[in-house]
Structure 1
């Protein structure tokens, strides 16, 4: 008899956040499907192609895990790392054309490189996504982070990040390290901008 389906959004502390609360957490090494790119996510075809490649592989891995290992889980939401040569482009100018990014979907630690290779091969055998060759399996070790929940449009994140970067983090005697991380708990294709729920995370030291 197979185990109950796991929803990591509910079981992992790193996916818990409250609006208006800045929390310091220790994020364990976490395994992701990843695709790198550059440019404004609203207009860059590269970003659309990345997402179109990540999800088919994620679902193939979910089905393989259930069938081969008897371990079923909910496919996790889209996440992304964002960075720029000028970090002010996140909080002041919001010039998204200058952003670099890594689009990601978390997968359980029991997913092996062999399972990943098999999943990619299965996706390739069908309607092959443009960016399939860019998908990789990698562990991200962020360690200590500050995170909070933002509710609303992505374009309204700046004041929340301003407070995180320039008030809370220095106030706790911490400095920013690593890349800005967003976890999209809402499907932006189906939820109106004012109701979007996004975890905003910043690694610190």
Structure 2
């Protein structure tokens, strides 16, 4: 059976619906940075998806080609994630999505080194005849966070986030947003195939004691 990060690391990908504290260890991602409303069909975000999944599946399917990655194991591509911020805003202002600055990303298996990542970018560019140079090897050490599973539409997240922030304060913690520590979402459902009220999203806010 292919290794499934969602099943093997349920604390990170299938958390409870109640806010709780968690320390997230360092992980590596394929990432694309951009700006603007993710719902804009002609925007940067939609183009970023093609780059992310192009790299993710080039690595996943590499075992079928001549390039062998040391330590490779079969796995399920982990879910899409996003780090979000807006200038001058602590957290997220859902009324002004056009001001988003985001890092869209997919977790990389542990066997993917920077060298293997560079190979995947070149291979995807060669095979698909498109430019994948926007993709970056992104190391993220998230640290202490308050986390919760949100079930429902993305625009209904503020209620869940308010509960998370209140819980963090009860635990003697304060929000710790910065250029590198951002509002974090992990998407467990496909909005194209799932009713908004049934969407599942892992929400995280960075905190410190």
TM-score, length basis structure 2: 0.88
SS of match in other structure, 1:50? helix
User: 2: CA distance between counterparts of 1:104 and 1:8?
Assistant: 15
The Cα of 1:8 is off from its aligned counterpart by: 0.5
Alpha-carbon shift at residue 162 of structure 1 (Å)? 1.9
TM-score, structure 1 normalization: 0.89
1:179 alignment partner, one of 179, 182, 198: 182
Find the counterpart in structure 2 of residue 63 from structure 1: 61
Q: Is the 8 A contact 2:79 2:106 kept in 1?
A: yes
> Do 1:52 and 1:129's aligned partners in 2 also have CA atoms closer than 8 Å?
no
Is 1:125 matched with 2:133? no
What is the aligned partner in structure 1 of residue 152 from structure 2? Answer: 152
8 Å CA contact 2:91–2:183 kept in 1: the answer is: no
Moved over 6 A (4+): none
Residue 35 of structure 1, CA deviation:
0.5
The answer on whether the counterparts of 1:54 and 1:135 sit within 8 Å (CA) in structure 2 is yes
Structure 1: any 5+ residue segments left out of the alignment? none
Matched, 1:34 2:31: yes
| Alignment-derived partner of residue 89 in structure 2 | 87
Closer/same/farther in 2, CA of residues 117 and 201 from structure 1, 3 Å limit = same
How well do the aligned residues superpose, as a CA RMSD in angstroms? 1.8
**Larger helix proportion, structure 1 or 2?**
1
In the TM superposition, 1:1-205 aligns within 5 A as: 4-12=1-9, 13-19=11-17, 21-43=18-40, 45-64=43-62, 68=69, 69-87=71-89, 90=92, 94-129=95-130, 132-165=132-165, 167-177=166-176, 178-205=181-208
Give SS of 2:133's match: helix
Contact 1:65 1:111 in 2 (8 A): no
The number of residue pairs the alignment matches comes to 198
CA distance in 2, matches of 1:182, 1:129: 28
CA deviation vs aligned residue, 1:77-104 (integer Å, no higher than 9, x gap): 110000112336725x531111110000
Separation in structure 1 between the aligned mates of residue 144 and residue 205 of structure 2, nearest angstrom? 9
- Deviation track 1:26-54 (CA, whole Å, cap 9, x = no partner) reads 11101101111111101151000111100
Does the residue aligned with 1:79 lie in a helix, a strand or coil?
strand
